[in-house]
Amino acid sequence: MKLKDTPTIKKMAKELGLTRVINAEEAIREYCVRKVEKIIEPLGRPNDLNQLLAIVSSSLRLKFEEVDTEYALFEISQQYVGKGEIIFGDLHQQLDEKTDAVLIELNHVQPWEAKYIAVIDCRGHKAWRAYFSKWHEVSHVLTQPSQISFKFRRTPTKKKEPEEQITDKVAGDLAFYSPLFLPELLARVQKKKRLTFNVVEELRTAICPVASREATIRGAVSRTPFPQLFVVVDYGFKKDEQRIINTTQMDMFTDKETPFLPKLRAVEVIPNNPATKVGLRIHTNMEVPEESIITEAYHNPNIGHQAYSALENLNWWKHSRGTLETMPIYVEATKIGKRVFALICQG
């Protein structure tokens, strides 16, 4: 079932006063954008996306607390418990590995103080998601019906529930708010008609300095008017292999006797709408061709964080029924940590 057709999303739209709408998902997303536009209208257009976030969160009486160490988590917990907010007492249990953030409505506040506290987990690998996580929590407040109250909300790392999925989509609309982001993007991609890592860095510097590289790539890919893929590459297993590994069937094997070997795969593939329309696609978990610059970027220790590019062909990518269609493609790849990020467009 599509997100727009789920009972949860239809109910949410109704609670927000969005009745007689054809597409509940689009109606909710447009509603949130309009609310943000109404917030910033009296102040004029912000200079960048960080300023936009500050203005919107302040208007919503939402304050962020970032957790980058265990001690920081302890301090935040003690600070609010000391103010009579007992719900912060088990914060260390609530903000676990499977949770990106928690959103708490305070009980003891003055009219001029923050009403909501969003505790953002910035520890380890979650640090790159901090900027987007903040917008996710903003989106929760924006989509909260005025007649319905809540005291505690946990944001899981895996957004399976319809309510979390629509909140993520709203966050995507706002984190790279098009009136600010799109003109800067178009000015940089019109000449070559493709997105590059250099363009991503220029965008971060100009309009979203607090966003991570990965978040900026995702925002830029979705808004680029030309066919574009963002591919994250790492070692992994086929779906059926992973399914077996995740079951008790693997209990009979020791580490040395594991029947499957991980291979370099496209563990995540993000296409934009133009790419889907022209048939530029790579399936998730497909093995990366050995001859691709992506493979070299992963294994060559001399490449470092530099971006390398090459003209290739989509038919180098193989699956169980053959190869992908013949299409010249331009590939740019760079290694970030243990993964390779690749930007792929028509060649």
pLDDT at residue 204, as a whole number: 93
139-154 confidence digits (pLDDT tens): 999 999 876 667 888 8
Beta strand spans in the chain (E): 62-67, 99-105, 116-121, 152-156, 228-236, 263-271, 308-313, 318-319, 322-323, 328-336, 339-346
209-244 confidence digits (pLDDT tens): 989 999 999 999 999 999 999 999 999 887 776 666
Instruction: Indicate the pTM of the whole model.
Output: 0.87
Q: Name the band, by pLDDT with cuts 50, 70 and 90, for residue 64.
A: very high
pLDDT at residue 31, as a whole number: 97
Mean pLDDT of 315-332: 92
**Smallest Cα–Cα separation from 136: which of 179, 172, 95?**
172
pLDDT at residue 77, as a whole number: 96
Query: What is the Cα–Cα distance from 88 to 107, expressed in whole angstroms?
Result: 11
Contact (CB, 8 A) for 76 and 66: no
Reply yes or no on whether the pLDDT at 84 is more than 90.
Answer: yes
Reply yes or no on whether the pLDDT at 322 is more than 70.
Answer: yes
| 302 or 337: which leads in pLDDT | 337
Q: Are strands 62-67 and 116-121 parallel, antiparallel or unpaired?
A: parallel
Average pLDDT along the chain:
91
The DSSP code sequence of 290-340 is TTSHHHHHHH-TTTTT--EEEEEEGGG-EETTEEPPP-EEEEEEEEETTEE
**Smallest Cα–Cα separation from 228: which of 165, 285, 281?**
281
pLDDT at residue 319, as a whole number: 84
Bridge partners of residue 117, in order along the sequence: 63, 104
Using a pLDDT cut of 90, give the percent of the chain over it: 75
36-54 confidence digits (pLDDT tens): 999 999 998 899 999 999 9
pLDDT at residue 14, as a whole number: 93
Phi, psi of 181 (to 5 degrees): -80, -45
Task: Say how many residues make up the chain.
Answer: 347
Reply yes or no on whether the pLDDT at 157 is more than 80.
Answer: yes
Q: Name the band, by pLDDT with cuts 50, 70 and 90, for residue 294.
A: very high
Phi, psi of 203 (to 5 degrees): -65, -40
- Domain spans, the chain: 3-169, 176-224, 227-346
pLDDT at residue 337, as a whole number: 84
pLDDT at residue 258, as a whole number: 60
Mean pLDDT of 169-173: 96
240-285 confidence digits (pLDDT tens): 766 666 665 555 555 555 667 889 999 999 999 999 999 999 999 9
Q: Name the band, by pLDDT with cuts 50, 70 and 90, for residue 334.
A: very high
| Alpha carbons within 13 A on the beta-carbon side of 271 | 14
Query: What is the Cα–Cα distance from 170 to 10, expressed in whole angstroms?
Result: 15
Reply yes or no on whether the pLDDT at 163 is more than 90.
Answer: yes
